[in-house]
Structure formats: C-alpha cells, structure tokens
Amino acid sequence: MKRLRLSDLKIAGSGHVLRDVVPGEYLSHGGLSFKNPGQRSHDVGCTCASCDGNGRHVHPDECEVFIILQGKAVMEIDGTSHSLVAGDVVVCEPGEDHHLVADPEDPCVNMTLHTSRTHHSRISP
C-alpha cells in the first residue's frame, strides 16, 4: 500500500496525474462511489471478478487507486486498518486484499482508478 495526499500528485507535464505513483501510461477505468454509512466494499457474497465470494478482494496484476473526495473511511489492507479523510490517496498494490469501509457518521465519497498500457475503452450505456 502507498498513501499520499492529493497535494502530492503532480499535474504538470505529460501523462496522467498518477504517472509517478502507479505503472501504466493511461488511466483505463474507474468510477465514483457514494458509500452508505458503515458500508464495506467487496464484502462476503460479492461476485465481481476480483472477489472470491468469501470477502477477499485482490487484483493479481494491477494497482487500484482510491481517492477520498468527501467524508471519512477506513481502508483495510490485508487485515490492517488505515483511517482516511478527504484528500487521502491510497494505492493498493497487486496481491493486496483491500476493502474500503465508510465511516458510520461521515460516510465517504470516493473515486477509484486503474491504469493500463493502452487507452481506455468506452463502455456503451
């Protein structure tokens, strides 16, 4: 896991804003997420491609970046909890089991990003 603040990201020059933080020439996919109070991402029963259904969520060969835009959260990385606030940037490394848990009183709004060697492909609505 890498932890930064938004102010640590460089925006000058060529390439994407995460170019000095994660491998990949292009931002390839991601999204915006509004968490419910206490909600834990990729929990038991999740059927996404990176989950085992028993509460383990791992990307074997890519990093995932979480940017906390509003509120508070806890990032669980391999069973260790890290408190986060708006402006925090967390990079989950390949092979790390990771979950974002929204604060019960001040739930987070977060962005997730992945990078790639190729341009993103637009997904049709």
pLDDT in tens, 47-83: 888 999 898 999 988 899 999 999 999 999 999 999 9
HSE-up of 12 (CA within 13 Å, CB side)? 2
Domain count, the chain: 1
CB 18 within 8 A of CB 113: yes
pLDDT tens-place string over residues 9-28? 887 677 888 888 998 888 88
Q: What percentage of the chain reaches a pLDDT higher than 90?
A: 63
> What is the domain range of residue 7?
2-116
**Higher-pLDDT residue of 14, 115:** 115
Residue 124 lies inside a defined structural domain of this protein: no
Residue 125 lies inside a defined structural domain of this protein: no
The pLDDT of residue 125 is 52
pTM for the predicted model, two decimal places: 0.89
